[in-house]
Amino acid sequence: MCIAVFLWKAHPLYPFLLFLNRDEYHDRPTKPLAWWEDDSHILGGRDEVAGGTWLACTRSGRVAFLTNVRENISNSDTKSRGNLPVRFLKSDKSPRDFSQQLLREAGEYNGFNLIVADLCSMTMVYITNRPKDNSMNMAATEVSPGIHVLSNATLDTPWSKSQRLECSFKQLLDEYGESEIPMGQAAERIMRDTAKEDSNLPGIYSHEREYQLSSIFVDTELSMGRYGTRSTSSLAVTTSSEATFYERYLIDKDVWKEHQMNFVIEKTMQGVVSTS
């Protein structure tokens, strides 16, 4: 179901800094972080079943990431939510224009939270088809500067695991100050938290299932098989447009592998690509 914590326009070195855990069934075929073969402009992991992604970016500084909304009822006839980030990354629309395009498609997807950003224009929009008023409409809002946590309810909903993650992230930022943060070490430190909560749970699923999903790093058995955190990612962009994309991912049972991709964002102005 995923959980993410990110910093937006509130750091002297990192205008954007993200950490994200992707939760999924362990037997669901997945490709790890890479430049996509069918679109070499996109960098991210990929779901091999539906072809979408939970987190990806482009060479031109477009970023999109997604979480599902926790709810008891889902419709198997809806479109794949993982295609939403891909649609944004392949479009040339601004985050705001893209969100407006989605507004009339609310009922075509099960519950989702989507963040879309353009790091060249420094604009970011949060889109959900399960807003706080519990309607089935779509809502889109510009993301304010600061620290935000996105779990499986609306942005910054104070679930216990979200509050723990925000606290760990703040401690990390305080420790490093304006210095460079080692992405792999930082991801291991704040995203591998297996502590569970026995109270103050969302109450959407049964108590036992909520308990198993209450940790930041999830590892449990569900009726359809082993389920939990399949990958931990971080994406950092500096003020000099240097991007670092790190991923630690499960390759077989309890065997993990990690790698990191670095690139410079290509700034496009009036149709001319510049890397300066």
The encoded tokens of residue 47 equal 């779901």
H helical segments located in the chain: 83-90, 95-102, 160-176, 183-191, 207-212
Q: CA 107 to CA 138: how far, in whole Å? A: 9
pLDDT of residue 134: 64
Which alpha helices (DSSP H) does 91-231 contain, by range? 95-102, 160-176, 183-191, 207-212
On the question of pLDDT at 272 being above 70, the answer is no
Q: What's the rounded Cα separation, in Å, for the pair 136 and 130? A: 6
Q: Measured between alpha carbons, how far is 164 from 189 in angstroms, rounded to an integer? A: 12
Would you state the pLDDT for residue 82?
Answer: 97
Q: pLDDT tens digit string along 67-110?
A: 999 998 888 889 999 999 999 999 999 999 999 999 888 889 99
| CA–CA dist 56, 112 (Å, integer) | 16
Q: pLDDT category, 135, cuts 50, 70, 90?
A: low
**Interacting residues of 104 by C-beta distance below 8 A, sequence separation 6+:** 138
Pairing of strands 146-150, 139-142: unpaired
Mean pLDDT, the chain, whole residue set: 93
| pTM recorded for the entire structure | 0.94
Mean pLDDT confidence for 148-159: 97
Enumerate domains of the chain plus CATH numbers. Answer: 3-274 (3.60.60.10)
Q: What is the pLDDT of residues 21-53, one digit of tens each?
A: 999 999 999 999 999 999 999 999 999 999 999
270 pLDDT band (50/70/90 cuts)?
very low
In the structure, what pLDDT confidence band is assigned to residue 195 with cuts at 50, 70 and 90?
Answer: very high
- Contact between 253 and 39 under an 8 Å Cβ cutoff? The reply is no
Q: pLDDT digits over 198-238, tens only?
A: 999 999 999 999 999 999 999 999 989 999 999 999 999 99
